[in-house]
Amino acid sequence: MAADKVDPIHQFHIHTLVPIHIGGYDFSFTNYALFMVIVVVIAGGGLYWACVSRSVVPGRAQSVAEILYEFSASMLRDSAGAEGMRFFPFILTLFMFTLVANLIGMFPYFPTVTSQIVVTVALALLVFFMVLIAGLMRHGLHFFKLFVPSGIPIVVLPLVVAIEIISFLTRPVSHSVRLFANMLAGHITIKVFAGFVFSLGTLGALGVAGAILPMIMVIGLTALEILIAALQAYVFAMLACIYINDAIHPGH
Amino acid sequence: MFVSPAFAENATAASAQSKTTTATQAGHSGPEAFPPFDSTYFPSALLWLAITFIAFYIFVKRVVVPQIGGVLENRREKIASDLRNAGRMKEEADAAIAAYEQELAAARAHAGEIGQKARDEAKIAAEAERRKIEASLEDKLARAEKRIAEIRASAMKDVGAVAEQTASLIVEKLTGGQSSKAEIAAALSSVRE
């Protein structure tokens, strides 16, 4: 019974809210699906509501929305240049989605959408194929110059090309696992320390006194996790910007 | 990754079980798949992610970006137009200052001209006055000199008669006798010569 309460994996359980089965596949509306909707509503509604007055001198909410907007814009412009701004709506969507998903996950009892590897893999593959298709559409076969850095001696060129191709193909793996693992590990760590608080708290007066240490730890970790939630959303969007730069400027 | 052995262990057991257990209830019923790797829910997660993410993308592209972009663009334009206005006003102020300076310089030049003219006129007038006074003074001087000469001449003419009279009186007193007028006149003229 107590094992249930302190099970650090319990928080990641998926349960069906509205069962939907099509063609033998389970497309049920789960608690994670609900939170995807909530994330989108908060992120989209927040951005819309903050700037609905369209004032020249911004209020607090509008300032925040503008900062998020300009932050994403400068992130993309700095790494992919002015031509990359075509992808700006996508980057803003990606950044806001991951940021809000990560931050909402910090609320107790709220599932973290980005702690499901299928979600981060899907987003990373979306970026990967978008880069591949945009690069091929824009540069044709010249896009594959990406794998041939200039100024490399012909002797080591095959090796370098092989490394470049491998690193290109493994991008979605590192891209998705970084976000997923950060979210997963952070929430498990918090849960483990919170479990210590609970377990010690049931052991009487001495236990309650001893529970103060893990409690402090949980507070510190929560602060750290909020930082990581924002940071990993930034890293995820930043890497997408860098990959998009490859689609636009394949030559090194 | 520290979860992978657990996953490997559970995956085989759970894959058979998960379809039945998760459908009835998720939770505490023995070993089952580590939830993030439970492929039962992958289609559901992908579908709902696609729906929500695409909806969010369309909303951002259609509504959010034009709105916030419009706000920022408006602000940029406002700042740019304000700067333009400020620049224009500064130019106007500069022009006004230049005009003022020019007028001031012209006025100064004019004032100098007037002053010079007045000075010149005064000089000329003074010169003329001086000449007139000089001329009249010379005239007076000449007349005075002439008069002095006349007085002197008439005085010199009388000197002879006075000398004869005086001489005859002196001779009379000294000698006690009379002397003729002609003698005295001759003596005097010889002295005077």
CA A204, CA A207: separation in Å to the nearest integer?
5
- Return the pLDDT at A203: 83
Identify which of A167, A29, A189, A170 has the alpha carbon closest to the alpha carbon of residue A115: A189
Distance from the Cα of A149 to chain B's closest Cα (Å) equals 33
Tell me which residues of chain A, numbers 161 to 190, contact chain B at a CB-CB cutoff of 8 Å.
180-181, 184
Q: Which residues of B touch A17 (CB under 8 A)?
A: none
The residue whose two tokens read 């033998």 is A24
A107 three-state secondary structure: coil
- Give pLDDT, residue A252: 57
- HSE of A100 in the Cβ direction (CA atoms, 13 Å)? 23
Instruction: Quickly state the pLDDT bin for B3 (edges 50, 70, 90).
Output: very low
Alpha-carbon gap, residue B166 to B70, rounded angstroms: 138
Highest mean pLDDT among A54-63, A94-103, A104-113: A94-103
Residues pairing with A22 in the sheet: A25
Task: Please name the residue of chain A whose CA is at the shortest distance from the CA of residue B43.
Answer: A27
Res. B17: pLDDT tops 80: no
Region A30-59 average pLDDT: 89
In degrees and rounded to multiples of 5, residue A18 shows phi and psi of -125, 110
Cβ A113 vs Cβ A39: under 8 Å: yes
Q: Is the pLDDT of residue B56 over 50?
A: yes
Above 60 in pLDDT, residue A216?
yes
Q: What is the mean pLDDT of the segment spanning B70-78?
A: 90
Domain ranges of chain A: 2-248
Closest chain B residue by Cα to residue A32: B45
- Residue B52: CB atoms within 10 A of its CB come to 22
Angle between helices A117-139 and A171-201 (to 10 degrees): 160
pLDDT at B193: 65
How does the average pLDDT of chain A come out, rounded? Answer: 88
B26 has a pLDDT exceeding 50: no
- Please give the residue that has the higher pLDDT: either A12 or A232: A232
Percent of chain A with pLDDT over 90: 51
Cβ atoms A90, A75 nearer than 8 A: no
- pLDDT at residue B63 greater than cutoff 60: yes
Comparison of pLDDT for B40 and B146, the residue scoring more? B146
Residue B19's pLDDT band (cuts 50, 70, 90): very low
* Chain A residues 114-133 within an 8 A CB cutoff of chain B: 115-119, 122-123
Give the model's pLDDT for residue B61.
93
Residues of B whose CB is below 8 A from A31: none
The torsion region of residue A15 among left (phi > 0), alpha (psi -120 to 50) and beta comes to: beta
Greater pLDDT, A147 or B25: A147
- Per-residue pLDDT, averaged over B11-17, amounts to 44
| Chain B residues touching A54 at Cβ < 8 A | 67, 70-71, 74
Token code pair at residue A130: 């978008």
Q: A39 CB near a chain B CB, below 8 Å?
A: yes
* pLDDT classification of B103: cutoffs 50, 70, 90: very high
What chain A residue is nearest to B38 in terms of C-alpha separation? A14
Is the pLDDT at A238 greater than 70? The verdict is yes
pLDDT band at B32 (very low <50, low <70, confident <90, very high): low
CA–CA dist A148, A165 (Å, integer):
9
Q: Confirm if A128 and A242 have CB atoms less than 8 A apart.
A: no
Is A27 in Cβ contact with B45 (below 8 Å)?
A: no
End-to-end CA distance of chain B: 163
Pick the range with the lowest mean pLDDT from A161-170, B134-143, B149-158: B149-158
d(CA A232, CA A225): 10
Q: How confident is the model at residue B12 (pLDDT cuts 50, 70, 90)?
A: very low
**Residue-level pLDDT at B10:** 45
> ∠ at Cα A106 (A105, A112), nearest 5°?
15
Tokens 């009892």 belong to residue: A109
User: How many CB atoms lie under 10 A from the CB of residue B75?
Assistant: 15
ipTM: 0.87
A1-15, A31-45, A192-206, B93-107, range with the lowest pLDDT: A1-15
Minimal Cβ distance to A181: which of B1, B49, B57: B1
Question: What is the pLDDT at residue B60?
Answer: 93
Q: State phi, psi for A211 to the nearest 5 degrees.
A: -75, -10
Please report the pLDDT score of residue A5 as a whole number: 54
A12-A15-A20 Cα angle (round to 5): 135
Say if CB B181 and CB B168 are below 8 A apart.
Answer: yes
Any B CB within 8 A of A36 CB: yes
From chain A, the residues in CB contact with B48 under 8 A are 27, 29-30, 32-33, 36-37
Tell me whether A48 touches chain B (CB under 8 Å): yes
Which band of pLDDT confidence, cut at 50, 70 and 90, is reported for residue B157?
A: confident
- In chain A, residues with a C-beta closer than 8 Å to the C-beta of B1 are 181
Scan for tokens 């709105």, then name that residue. B67
Q: Which residues pair with A21 in a beta bridge?
A: A26
CA A172, CA B141: separation in Å to the nearest integer? 129
Cα dist from B190 to B107, B154, B183, whole Å: 85, 21, 11
Beta bridge partners of A25: A22
